[in-house]
Amino acid sequence: MFPRNSGTWFVFFLLISPTILYKAMSDEDRWAAKKKRMSDKVRKMFYHAYDNYMIYAFPHDELKPLTKTYTNSLVELGNLRLEHLPPEYNGSALTLIESLSSLVIMGNNTEFERAVLWLSENLTFDIDARINLFECNIRVLGGLVSAHILATDSTNRLVQGKYKKQLLNLAEDLGHRFLPAFDTPTGLPYAWINLKYGVMEHETTETSTSGCGSLILEMGVLSQLTGDPRFESAALRALRKLWSMRSSLNLLGTTLDVGTGEWLEYSSGIGAGVDSFYEYLVKAYIIFGRDEFWRMFQSAYLAVEKYFKHGSWYHEADMRTGQPTYLQLTSLQAFWPGLQVLVGDIAAANSSHREFFSVWERFGVLPERYLLDRQMLHPTEKYYPLRPELAESTFYLYHATKDPWYLEVGESIVNSLNSYTKVEGGFASIRDVTTMQLEDHQHSFFLAETCKYLYLLFDDSFLVDRNYIFTTEGHPFPVVSAWHERLPEAYIPTYWTDVRDERQAKRASPMSLQVCPATALKSGLGGEQVESACHIPDVRADHRCLVEKDCGVDATTCRRRSCSMAGYCGLWWA
Ligand X SMILES: *[C@@H]1O[C@H](CO)[C@@H](O)[C@H](O)[C@H]1NC(C)=O
Which amino acids are annotated catalytic? Answer: 135, 275, 368, 389
Candidate segments 43-51, 243-251, 445-453, 551-559, binder of ligand X by CB under 6 A: 43-51
Tell whether residue 111 is a contact of ligand X (CB under 6 A): yes
β-pair partners for 562: 570
Tell whether residue 90 is a contact of ligand X (CB under 6 A): yes
Binding to ligand X, residues 256-285 (CB under 6 A): none
Rank residues 166 and 186 by Cβ distance to ligand X and give the closer one: 166
User: In the complex, what is the shortest distance from the CB of residue 193 to ligand X, in angstroms, rounded to a whole number?
Assistant: 18
CA quadruple 32, 33, 39, 43: dihedral sign: positive
Binding to ligand X, residues 335-364 (CB under 6 A): 346-347, 350
CA torsion, ordered 210, 212, 215, 217, to nearest 10 deg:
-70
| Integer CA distances (angstroms), 85 to 74, 88, 180, 274, in order | 10, 9, 20, 26
Q: How far is the C-alpha of 532 from the C-alpha of 555, rounded, in Å?
A: 7
Tell whether residue 403 is a contact of ligand X (CB under 6 A): yes
| Integer CA distances (angstroms), 390 to 83, 280, 382, 474, in order | 31, 18, 17, 13
> Of 343, 226, 235, 225, which Cα lies nearest the Cα of 286?
343
Q: How far is CA 279 from the centre of its chain?
A: 9
Tell whether residue 88 is a contact of ligand X (CB under 6 A): yes
Rank residues 51 and 262 by Cβ distance to ligand X and give the closer one: 51
Near ligand X by CB under 6 A: residue from 50, 356, 398, 468: 50
User: In the complex, what is the shortest distance from the CB of residue 401 to ligand X, in angstroms, rounded to a whole number?
Assistant: 4
Candidate segments 3-11, 110-118, 238-246, 493-501, binder of ligand X by CB under 6 A: 110-118
CA quadruple 538, 542, 547, 548: dihedral sign: positive
Q: Which amino acid is at 4?
A: R
Cβ neighbours, 10 Å, residue 208: 24
Tell whether residue 424 is a contact of ligand X (CB under 6 A): no
Near ligand X by CB under 6 A: residue from 31, 118, 420, 495: 118
Rank residues 103 and 133 by Cβ distance to ligand X and give the closer one: 103
Peptide bond into 59 cis (omega under 30): yes
Beta strands in 298-400 (DSSP E): 309-310, 313-314, 317-318, 328-330, 369-371, 376-377
Rank residues 447 and 469 by Cβ distance to ligand X and give the closer one: 447
Tell whether residue 327 is a contact of ligand X (CB under 6 A): no
Rank residues 104 and 558 by Cβ distance to ligand X and give the closer one: 104
CB of 447 closer than 8 Å to CB of 102: yes
Near ligand X by CB under 6 A: residue from 47, 326, 363, 495: 47
Rank residues 67 and 122 by Cβ distance to ligand X and give the closer one: 122
Tell whether residue 186 is a contact of ligand X (CB under 6 A): no
Tell whether residue 121 is a contact of ligand X (CB under 6 A): yes
Tell whether residue 557 is a contact of ligand X (CB under 6 A): no
User: In the complex, what is the shortest distance from the CB of residue 521 to ligand X, in angstroms, rounded to a whole number?
Assistant: 22
Q: What residue ranges bind ligand X (CB under 6 A)?
A: 47, 50-51, 88, 90, 108, 110-111, 117-118, 121-122, 346-347, 350, 401, 403
